[in-house]
Amino acid sequence: MERMIRGRAFVLGDDIDTDQIIPAEYLTYNPSLEEERKFFGKYACCGVPDAQSGLPDGGIPLVAEGAWASEFQIVVAGKNFGCGSSREHAPLSLAVAGITAVIAEFYARIFYRNSVNGGYVVPVESTVRLVDEIRTGDELEIDLDQSVVRNRTSGKEYQVKELGEVLPIIEAGDIFEYAKKAGMINS
Amino acid sequence: MAMTVTEKILSRNAGRSSAVPGENIWVNVDTLMTHDVCGPPSIGIFKQRFGENARVWDPDRVVIVPDHYIFTANPQAHRNIGILRDFVKEQGLKWYYDPDFMNAEGMPSPYADPSRTSYKGVCHIALPEEGHTRPGEVLLGTDSHTCTAGAFGQFATGVGNTDAAFVLGTGKTWVKVPPTMRFVFEGELPPWLMAKDMILAVIGDIGCDGATYRAMEFAGSGVYSLNMEERMTLTNMVIEAGGKNGVIVPDQVTLDYINARIAKSGTRSDFEIIENDPGAKFYFEKHYDLSTMEPRVAKPHSPDNKANVSEVAGTQLTRAYIGSCTGGKVTDFVAAAKIIDGHECKVPTFIVPATTEVDAELDKVQVNGRTLRTIFREAGAQIGPASCMACLGGPADTFGRLNDAAEVCISSTNRNFPGRMGHKQSQVYLASPLTVAASAITGKITDPRDVMTFDSMREEAV
Ligand code: SF4
């Protein structure tokens, strides 16, 4: 696991549910098939209403029209990120779009679990409301050793929570790698 | 140490004498359910991680229920059914409910007779109907509304594809033991209210993140006076408050339902009823007096955007939808038929039975001496085959899908996030089947009491 995650921020609001992250009409693609997996990157976050996409100004899609991946690497959001359905296609679509980490005030349980167990994105929890502090396009640096986020565009720095009890799974890569290390399943 | 029913089930399946909220424990899974959307990727991960020739941990404990994308011409949807069929055959899985009428490409012509197909429809209602819900067990499903089965006194929760693949290979999962929030409903439910009004009231009160990482237990005379279908409406929507699981301790009504279904299907009958220990600690407790409750809605675009129907009455609608795992059961259609009978729907109205069994009941159950199907047909409603259909939007050719930005729909389903039923600008109001039916015959949001006189006593429908 990278201890230092760098990238450009893409900012969203509260209660971003999994239907907005990957709308149900695209779930017919099977992410286990290489040639279909790429569609999850193309359509990542296309269900977010335009005015709420890429705050504070809005009107910015995570993945540009016609592109297969995003020019942003870190999603910043408010409360209850990833609520709604259990579709693992949601954290997967962010990962396929090139997102490496999400920073939210807190997560819906299944999204958080899927992110960690599937090893898709690192789900970081902020201690303050970053949605009002960070603008889409800002250059961010998440320092997991120090548990801080640095906004290199504004020069400000914010405390985030430690990854805590899920850290061993994130460090192992995913739940399978973790279980192998713990001797629960054969390599 | 005194434990709640959720803590007791988890500790038992972990082989431990206790389970304390906040602890991470590994538990044995009794049943794993998956469907046509999350089954194929779960199977993909299973094969990738355990090997092409890997066997599932127990072929009798895997239940596969295709339900989401059945009535569509989408080629990938057809291909996904093929992946499920191959896996079922290869692994010798016994509990699979095949859409046997899906044979070629294009829009499948629906089952000719709902009582003569192996297809069931929406997984969360198919599971209890086919005898797969049992008190005291741990059920995981690759769908967030797997929590529905908590109505039968079990621990049931939704998981992702990776977790499902892990369970397929090992029969185990890790769980963070949730503290329990308790919701006690006192009194008897007035006939103009339904379980949907109760759960919308709870979600409105605690918010759509109010139960994150927690169990929600429903209790009180108001809950135990409900039939199993209505109880399932309560536990179905705990996920809309972020809850990990919902639970109702079993009573005779639960056992009668389960025993009949197990006898019919020949499923495992070795379950144990688990109750709260005396002195068990609840993280939170809230009491509701049903005699003072009002019909409720959730306004666009969140299930916690609460209002009484009276506050939004008169809002113009473009359509009404009665269906899904939460609002497409026999009880839901009986309630709707009582209101719709003898009227004409003023906006396009879509009726979608959750399962083929519910579909067959539309021809058997009568209100005012006429079958439910006849009542809906004569009122001009469109009746679709059993499936998830427009509850989650789905492919553009899905029956009832909101394909237009200007649609304003009142729906008995469970979610109204942006784009949930189709177009991301369309608006969805969630309400009970009674309120949806009252609104369908007026074309605007309507309190059921404004279109029908209710007897003071509630009659048991099914
Ligand atoms: S009916 Fe709706 S909520 Fe229920 S399983 Fe299907 S899509 Fe999900």
Q: How far is the CA of B354 from the centre of ligand 1 (A)?
A: 9
Compute the nearest-CA separation of A143 from chain B (Å). Answer: 26
Is ligand 1 within 6 A of the CB of residue B134?
no
- Asked whether residue B408 carries a pLDDT value surpassing 90, the answer given is yes
Residue of B nearest to A107 (CA): B212
Q: What is the pLDDT of residues B223-234, one digit of tens each?
A: 999 999 999 999
Pocket test for ligand 1, best of B145, B196, B232 (most atoms within 8 A of CB): B145
Contact list, A79 vs chain B (CB under 8 Å):
209
Rounded CA separation B402/B109 (Å): 22
Longest dimension (CA), chain A: 50
pLDDT at residue B458 in the model: 52
Rounded CA separation A120/A107 (Å): 15
> Which residue carries 């998830």 as its tokens?
B388
Domain boundaries, chain B: 5-284, 299-450
Dig out the tokens for B277 from the structure. Answer: 């220990």
Compute the average pLDDT of residues B205-219.
Answer: 97
Do A47 and B424 lie within an 8 Å CB cutoff?
Answer: yes
CA distances from A102 to A38, B91, B260 (A): 20, 38, 48
Mean residue pLDDT across chain A: 96
Dig out the tokens for B399 from the structure. Answer: 């029956």
Rounded CA separation B419/A50 (Å): 12
Q: Has the ipTM of the complex gone over 0.85?
A: yes
Compute the average pLDDT of residues A78-100.
Answer: 97
Q: Do domains B5-284 and B299-450 have the same CATH topology?
A: yes
Do B209 and A117 lie within an 8 Å CB cutoff?
Answer: no
Q: What is the pLDDT of residues B234-259, one digit of tens each?
A: 999 999 999 999 999 999 999 999 99
Contact between B238 and B147 under an 8 Å Cβ cutoff? The reply is: yes
pLDDT at residue B455 in the model: 76
What CATH number does domain B299-450 carry, 3.20.20.370, 3.30.499.10, 3.40.50.2300, 3.40.190.10? 3.30.499.10
Compute the average pLDDT of residues A34-60.
Answer: 97
pLDDT at residue A2 in the model: 81
Q: How far is the CA of B388 from the centre of ligand 1 (A)?
A: 5
A70-82 as b/e: b if 16+ CB within 10 A? bebbbbbbbbbbb
Q: What's the CATH fold of domain B5-284? A: Aconitase; domain 3 (3.30.499)
Contact between B415 and B300 under an 8 Å Cβ cutoff? The reply is: no
For the purposes of burial, counting CB atoms within 10 Å of the CB of B54, is it exposed (0-12), middle (13-18) or buried (19 or more)?
middle
CB distance from B405 to chain A under 8 Å?
Answer: no
CA distances from B28 to A40, A113, B216 (A): 32, 18, 22
Compute the average pLDDT of residues B348-368.
Answer: 98
CB distance from A128 to chain B under 8 Å?
Answer: no
Strand partners, B184: B219, B287
Q: How far is the CA of B211 from the centre of ligand 1 (A)?
A: 20
